[in-house]
Amino acid sequence: MCAIARDAGAFLLQERARFSRDDVEYKGTNDLVSYVDKETEKRLVEALSQLLPEAGFVTEEGTTGSGSDRAGLNWIIDPLDGTTNFIHGLPIFSVSIGLAEGNRPIAGVIFDPNRDECFFGREGAGAYCSRGTAAPERIRVSAATQLSDSLIATGFPYYRFEGMPNYLRILEDLMHQTHGLRRMGSAAIDLAYVACGRFEGFFEYNLHAWDIAAGTLLVREAGGIVTDFDGGDSFLYRGDIVAGCGAQSELLATIQKYWR
């Protein structure tokens, strides 16, 4: 999986060097896509089909006709998480490959080609990060237990704005309680950074399974906690998520003050 993600990342960097905004398409309001997303996904689907032929696919760009059975085994992939960053030349984007059995992610890889960092993990086996040619290192979530010691990542909705007023109230509260808020533009990278302790928490709503399947596996294998906004376990296909270390419960409580 890591090798497949690295190959896809190399293609992203190759195309980034010659990419033109004339190649951008719109799937919806502020929802951008390009030939790079689609071609990368085709490459991932082809390689992953050979790796595990019995698995179905849940993909962002819908390049595979094999479909999926949500109760079964599925590859859940985002070929370019951070498309808007990529289009604008901001070097924060990633390849995300998750493998899930039903609603439970069981393996995941997130590759950041710009930093040459590959985060990977498997259920029950821990989470790791390899940088360049260096040997992989075990990663763990931050030891912080309070929001007052935390740096929190989030994302800003680009459609379904009806939740924005409450979301802004959450942000305002967290600005007073934490070391700060960050918006990277790639949920996969946000979750990888929670897993390795760079962020103490991450929350967002209006996400898709391909944004978070790999990252949620990494956070849990790194000793973290992942829930939906209700504190339950339905985050993968419901789309709202709160992930973090020991401060996750306090982060969740802050969100619930305004979201319910």
Which positions make up the binding site for Mg(2+)?
60, 78, 80-81, 211
Low-confidence ranges of the chain (pLDDT < 50): 30
pLDDT of residue 237: 93
Please name the fold of domain 147-259: D-Maltodextrin-Binding Protein; domain 2 (3.40.190)
Which positions make up the binding site?
60, 78, 80-81, 211
CA distance 28 to 6: 29
pLDDT of residue 30: 47
pLDDT of residue 108: 98
The two three-digit tokens of residue 22, written as one number: 């004339």
Q: Yes or no: is domain 2-138 CATH 2.60.40.3140?
A: no
Domain boundaries, the chain: 2-138, 147-259
Buried b (16+ CB within 10 A) or exposed e, 214-227: bbbbbbbbbbbbbb
Does the pTM exceed 0.85? yes
- Burial (Cβ within 10 Å: 0-12, 13-18, ≥19) of residue 26: exposed
pLDDT of residue 169: 95
CA distance 220 to 92: 23
Alpha helices in the chain (DSSP H): 2-16, 35-51, 83-87, 164-177, 187-195, 209-221, 235-238, 248-259
